[in-house]
Amino acid sequence: MIEVLEISLLVFLIACALAVVLLKDMISIVVVFASYSLIMALLWQLLEAPDIAITEAAIGAGLTTVLFVAAIRRTGGLKK
């Protein structure tokens, strides 16, 4: 059961990485990058590294997403 979950998370992780490269809209990229970080946190938890999982969730998905959105808003990246 765990192996199926790990493989499906890895496939979704690769899909997120490809989506970040291929997308054009900056907000969409930030959302996909945040989901990438959350998947990494889940994988760290499955690998029995809860300290790294918590750090990845807080910094990778939380703080980094807020900073990216703030940078996009300040630079006018939302305007077309």
pLDDT tens-place string over residues 11-55: 999 999 999 999 998 999 999 999 999 999 999 999 999 999 999
**In this structure, is residue 60 part of a structural domain?**
yes
Tell me the Ramachandran region of residue 79: left when phi exceeds 0, alpha when psi lies from -120 to 50, beta otherwise: beta
Residue 12 included in any domain:
yes
Whole-structure pTM value: 0.85
Q: Is residue 47 part of a domain?
A: yes
Q: How many folded domains does the chain comprise? A: 1
Helix 26-46 vs helix 2-22: crossing angle, to nearest 10: 160
Domain membership of residue 80 (yes or no) is no
Confidence band for 2, pLDDT divided at 50, 70 and 90: confident
Q: Which domain holds residue 59?
A: 2-75
Does residue 46 lie in a domain region?
yes
Encoded tokens for 25:
């809209």
User: Is it the case that residue 80 has pLDDT exceeding 60?
Assistant: no
Is the residue at 29 inside a domain?
yes
Residue 38 lies in a domain: yes
In a domain, 55, yes or no: yes
15 vs 26, 35, 37, CA distance in Å? 17, 11, 13
